[in-house]
Structure 1
């Protein structure tokens, strides 16, 4: 009997391990879609194409359902369908909009695609689910303008291009919209302004881009801020304030490696930052290590390109094989576009710390949780076997 019970226990353990392996690969459905945003139109029937892909090597069933405050208007065709191993199948999400939705603004809905997968005997069932967001935009009553400001900045003494994206989120047509862009310094003092072009007959759920040029003559390179007042049919909308830059052809050293291990070759980084609106090519640094006036070592970093406003490390290697422990002077010259930036500072050669003794390996939290869970399950199985054995023994008596 004991041998028989051990066989049962071994069989249950094997089933448990198989179940764990199946659960690891449970989520095997991918979903493809064309949009995440739609606009409400009264009484409209809207159809959106989706596709489900089975990324596993076994067949599954797919079911589609919806959650959200507008889920009652949503359905899928088909809502349930089989999906073969490695196959892709299209389905359609249908929205039957009502005459009116009371709450304006953006409604966040969820399209859930659930997979139902079975083993050949049908004894193990794994459910996994993929959720895809869908935002439904319901217009406000009357005329409602939304506006956002953007710019890439400009080079010193060149015009700054500002763009304003305007959208009519109301249910009435906006007859005319135009605006003024204002620029500010760090003290919130206005340093410039410019009028945008205008748009007319901006219908509900449509948008348009307006633009303007602002002079930067006399404005020093640096960081600035801007916003815009947009005027439409007797109302005003102010955009959020944004940051922009006036650039100059300049790159500077912002940091460098200040310590290395004596007796070996060390990685050495020079951090360079661009203040220019265009890429700066072939940027590199010449590094010299000195002990007072004696040159101990020198090298050149690899050349690289700095993107507009980018901060990047230029890498090289410093030889400290014959440099004793101590403090030294490092001189760095950054070379770019026929210009240079120079920094002189401290560099320390130190002894490399001895490696710490290897610590005992610790299982990650997830592994511990898995082991504890499996142990508890095995204990329950053993208890169940013992109780069953006692019942059989009692019945036999």
Structure 2
């Protein structure tokens, strides 16, 4: 009987949890597009369409506006039942005092549900970003280029946006700079006009045949009567995996872990990488291989091998050979295998204890001999 009651309690608790959280589980509300960007033009008008979606076809939604530019916008509807389309109309004024980014937020809010123990309200908003031009000349730019490998052609893209009220003539070049500070390549573009609030893309491919592997700086210079400089770092890789670090000391006794830290200098995934490790001392030679790891572009990993040090002691010459993509490279070093300090402490402690025991036994024997001699003298008297 008690077992049945216990089961019933668990069932009731489970059903209660479902009832309490059913509103949260089913709650879903969205607005698309997720963001909109508009340039401010005095007295311009825009009509935007937004799709409101919900998983409750009978639920009532409240549609509203927010943001510092909401006074210039109006909605075709402020209520929806289920999903639907809303039109938003924007009428800009003749002038705005404050330049920069302004916002209108369109939001949808589900009404509190009376079903269940708790009502839930979901509020979703998406921004409409409105850019008001700065007085005079004002440029924004974005420089994009990916990492690459030696010999590849890397796509270079410079986006230039005229955020000022004046139309501009721009002259652009991009310098590519080594870590030493030396400019090793310059990419130039034809002179271009960018009207107020407009943008233009400058695209070209960078031939890296004469580049060396390493880190570089791309420095874009935009001359529009004033100078704007945009910097972006990037890497040129080669098919090489660097051995960054490796184990140099191990305690003697048992199977120990041997670690090798590696780093890819290649802009593509390398797949499996493993290492052969050769230890040598006098005529003795030991070889073991690590399990492989997957090495991603510019990735870092640690190879781990296992070495039985039970019969090893002293300094060994080490050669580590990495294998990857039909390539290999090696480094040399030293591995010191020595008795652990803990073992030495134990042996030292045991030696001291043994010595004390010997001294104690000798002292007792000496005392015993002296006592016997004293007794013999007393008997003679």
| TM-score normalised by the chain length of structure 1 | 0.64
Distance 2:328 2:143 in 1: 36
- Partner residue in 2 for 1:104: 99
Q: Secondary structure at the match of 2:171?
A: strand
The 1:19/1:45 distance shift into structure 2, 3 A limit, reads: farther
- Partner residue in 2 for 1:113: 108
Q: 2:201 aligns with which of 170, 195, 209?
A: 209
Distance 1:165 1:109 in 2: 25
The 1:265/1:168 distance shift into structure 2, 3 A limit, reads: same
The 1:312/1:154 distance shift into structure 2, 3 A limit, reads: closer
Q: Secondary structure at the match of 2:221?
A: strand
- Partner residue in 2 for 1:92: 87
Deviation string for 1:292-322 (max 9, x for gaps)? 5766673353464643xx214376x7567x7
Distance 1:325 1:91 in 2: 80
- Partner residue in 2 for 1:182: 175
Distance 1:254 1:124 in 2: 58
Deviation string for 1:245-303 (max 9, x for gaps)? 2333322233568999x98998x8765433234x2645421344758576667335346
Distance 2:229 2:79 in 1: 46
Shift of 1:19: 8.2
Contact 1:165 1:209 (C-alpha < 8 Å) held by counterparts: yes
Distance 2:28 2:247 in 1: 47
In structure 1, stretches of 5+ residues that fail to align are 1-12, 350-397
- Partner residue in 2 for 1:49: 49
The equivalences for 1:48-87 within 5 A come to 48-55=48-55, 59-83=58-82
1:286 aligns with 2:279: no
1:244 aligns with 2:234: yes
* Greater displacement, 339-348 / 139-148: 339-348
* Greater displacement, 287-296 / 93-102: 287-296
Distance 2:120 2:158 in 1: 50
Distance 1:319 1:186 in 2: 39
- Partner residue in 2 for 1:384: none
Contact 2:171 2:190 (C-alpha < 8 Å) held by counterparts: yes
In structure 2, stretches of 5+ residues that fail to align are 1-12, 339-381
Distance 1:157 1:297 in 2: 37
Q: 2:133 aligns with which of 131, 139, 143?
A: 139
The equivalences for 1:259-278 within 5 A come to 271-277=261-267
Contact 2:24 2:120 (C-alpha < 8 Å) held by counterparts: no
- Partner residue in 2 for 1:196: 188
Distance 1:319 1:217 in 2: 42
Shift of 1:196: 2.0
Shift of 1:334: 1.7
Contact 2:264 2:295 (C-alpha < 8 Å) held by counterparts: no
Q: Secondary structure at the match of 2:97?
A: coil
Contact 1:325 1:348 (C-alpha < 8 Å) held by counterparts: no
Aligned residues: 321
Contact 1:196 1:210 (C-alpha < 8 Å) held by counterparts: no
Bigger CA radius of gyration: 2
Contact 1:45 1:95 (C-alpha < 8 Å) held by counterparts: yes
1:38 aligns with 2:33: no
Contact 2:172 2:223 (C-alpha < 8 Å) held by counterparts: yes
The equivalences for 1:147-186 within 5 A come to 147-152=141-146, 155-156=149-150, 162-174=156-168, 176-186=169-179
Shift of 1:18: 8.3
Shift of 1:240: 2.5
| TM-score normalised by the chain length of structure 2 | 0.66
The 1:149/1:17 distance shift into structure 2, 3 A limit, reads: closer
Q: 1:311 aligns with which of 299, 303, 311?
A: 299
Distance 1:342 1:247 in 2: 19
Distance 1:257 1:89 in 2: 65
Contact 2:256 2:309 (C-alpha < 8 Å) held by counterparts: no
Distance 2:324 2:118 in 1: 65
Contact 2:293 2:301 (C-alpha < 8 Å) held by counterparts: no
Contact 2:112 2:119 (C-alpha < 8 Å) held by counterparts: yes
Shift of 1:335: 1.8
Note the aligned Cα RMSD (angstroms): 4.4
